[in-house]
């Protein structure tokens, strides 16, 4: 099993003058691609910030994606007990209506989106991130406090010649706030929060399978995980528990692409998980030069995962799985 090194202080290694490739416990440094041709930046540079909030009742997902030539934002509120989406919204806009930071730990705006009546603002003040978002039939106001959360998993990975991805995943932060979905108000006090911040120079055709979860193990202890097959692989696969982040294996995702609402299976070294799908968020884009298939089912995980040499049993842990295949 691999180990996680302390996070680097700089994105570019001062000795090699190359990105500081590796798998780390702790925060990413600011991401700057200085020295690269402007054309390379415009065509290959992508960045996004995905936020997840989960309470006893809901799994809420929200993302702002900046692609250089376009942006999009999506949000959904999945009701765990009713096993259905209360709201599922996607908005596409021009580049000027959105931005995502180059330093996810700097104070101020981390992500913003504003197009039509849909708005997103995520701002940092110290260890707390304040989220305000509005989509049709959905309003979110929440604070995400990382003070007591376990360290992040961070990975800086080479994807090919002049191609690189930097990503940080955080989980099990303390949440306070509320959400109004379809006119129903839900408290988020005591919920868990996390995010996926990714910034990179991506291949023309980028594919991955991803899973993210936060909740409590069968023994009652908080647990979360971030898993990926393909793309950067094992370097960002990790489990989160109170006070720590631990590397885990890269799993194989088995599922029916034609019927993503059927159960998914994730199997790897020390890992055997079943994902019970309740509802599916899907985006299909065909803009000639840009094409994508994006599926993100919401539901719950059950099974076992070996964390630090101990088999942890999971039963009904909320989360999402994802199948992404994009030509951009």
3-state SS assignment for residue 176: strand
Average pLDDT over residues 204-218: 95
Average pLDDT over residues 284-290: 73
State how far the Cα of 60 lies from the Cα of 53, in Å rounded to an integer: 5
Q: Element (H or E) spanning 44, and its range?
A: helix 38-44
State how far the Cα of 164 lies from the Cα of 155, in Å rounded to an integer: 10
pLDDT of residue 53: 99
b/e map 182-217, b = 16+ CB within 10 Å: eeeebebeebbbbbbbbbbbbbeebebbbbbbbbbb
Across 94-162, the runs of DSSP E, i.e. the strands, are 98-100, 108-115, 118-125, 128-135, 138-145, 153-160
State how far the Cα of 67 lies from the Cα of 45, in Å rounded to an integer: 7
**Is residue 192 a contact partner of residue 24, using CB atoms and an 8 Å limit?**
no
* 101-118 pLDDT tens trace: 999 999 999 999 999 999
Average pLDDT over residues 190-202: 97
In this prediction the pTM is: 0.96
pLDDT of residue 162: 84
State how far the Cα of 317 lies from the Cα of 221, in Å rounded to an integer: 11
Predicted confidence (pLDDT) at residue 38 exceeds the cutoff of 60: no
Lowest mean pLDDT of 31-35, 128-132, 173-177, name the range: 31-35
State how far the Cα of 135 lies from the Cα of 179, in Å rounded to an integer: 11
State how far the Cα of 111 lies from the Cα of 72, in Å rounded to an integer: 12
Predicted confidence (pLDDT) at residue 40 exceeds the cutoff of 60: no
pLDDT of residue 245: 98
DSSP string, 228-270: EESTTGGGG-EEEETTEEEE-PPPEEE--TT-TTS-EEEEETT
* 263-284 pLDDT tens trace: 999 999 999 999 999 999 998 8
CB atoms < 10 A from the CB of 251, how many?
A: 24
Whole-Å CA distances, 71 to 30, 52, 135: 21, 19, 16
State how far the Cα of 196 lies from the Cα of 240, in Å rounded to an integer: 14
**Is residue 193 a contact partner of residue 179, using CB atoms and an 8 Å limit?**
no
Q: Give the chain's radius of gyration (CA, Å).
A: 18
Mean pLDDT over the full length of the chain? 94
Predicted confidence (pLDDT) at residue 298 exceeds the cutoff of 90: yes
Whole-Å CA distances, 89 to 63, 117, 128, 263: 11, 12, 26, 24
> Residue 248 corresponds to which tokens in the numbers above?
């885990």
3-state SS assignment for residue 39: helix
Domains and CATH numbers, the chain: 19-26+43-327 (2.40.370.10)
Q: Decide which of 103 and 288 is more confident.
A: 103
pLDDT of residue 291: 79
According to DSSP, the β-strands at 22-25 and 5-6 are: parallel
3-state SS assignment for residue 298: strand
pLDDT of residue 41: 58
State how far the Cα of 45 lies from the Cα of 204, in Å rounded to an integer: 10
Lowest mean pLDDT of 19-23, 37-41, 192-196, name the range: 37-41
pLDDT of residue 165: 95
Average pLDDT over residues 162-172: 96
pLDDT of residue 42: 60
Whole-Å CA distances, 153 to 65, 75, 238, 251: 20, 24, 7, 17
């Amino acid at each position: 099993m691999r180990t996680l090194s302390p996070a680097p202080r700089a994105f570019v290694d001062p000795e090699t003058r190359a990105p500081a490739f590796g798998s780390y416990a702790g925060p990413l440094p600011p991401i700057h691609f200085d020295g690269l041709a402007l054309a390379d930046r415009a065509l290959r540079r992508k960045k996004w910030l995905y936020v997840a909030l989960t309470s006893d009742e809901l799994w809420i997902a929200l993302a702002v994606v900046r692609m250089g030539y376009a942006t999009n934002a999506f949000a959904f509120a999945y009701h765990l007990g009713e096993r259905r989406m209360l709201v599922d919204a996607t908005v596409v806009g021009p580049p000027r209506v959105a931005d995502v930071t180059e330093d996810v730990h700097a104070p101020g705006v981390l992500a913003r989106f504003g197009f039509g009546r849909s708005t997103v603002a995520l701002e940092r003040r110290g260890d707390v991130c304040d989220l305000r978002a509005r989509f049709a039939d959905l309003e979110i106001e929440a604070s995400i406090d990382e003070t007591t959360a376990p360290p992040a998993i961070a990975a800086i990975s080479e994807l090919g010649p002049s191609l690189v991805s930097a990503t940080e995943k955080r989980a099990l932060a303390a949440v306070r706030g509320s959400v109004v979905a379809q006119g129903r108000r839900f408290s988020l006090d005591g919920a868990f929060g996390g995010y996926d911040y990714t910034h990179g120079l991506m291949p023309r055709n980028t594919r991955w399978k991803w899973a993210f979860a936060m909740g409590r193990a069968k023994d009652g202890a908080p647990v979360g995980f971030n898993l990926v097959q393909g793309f950067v692989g094992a370097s960002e696969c990790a489990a989160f528990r109170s006070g720590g982040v631990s590397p885990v294996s890269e799993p194989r995702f088995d599922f029916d692409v034609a019927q993503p609402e059927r159960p998914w299976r994730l199997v790897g070294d020390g890992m055997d998980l079943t994902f019970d799908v309740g509802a599916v968020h899907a985006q299909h884009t065909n803009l000639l030069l840009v094409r994508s298939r994006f599926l993100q089912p919401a539901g719950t995980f059950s099974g076992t995962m070996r964390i630090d040499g101990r088999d942890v049993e999971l039963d009904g842990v909320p989360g999402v799985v994802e199948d992404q295949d994009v030509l951009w």
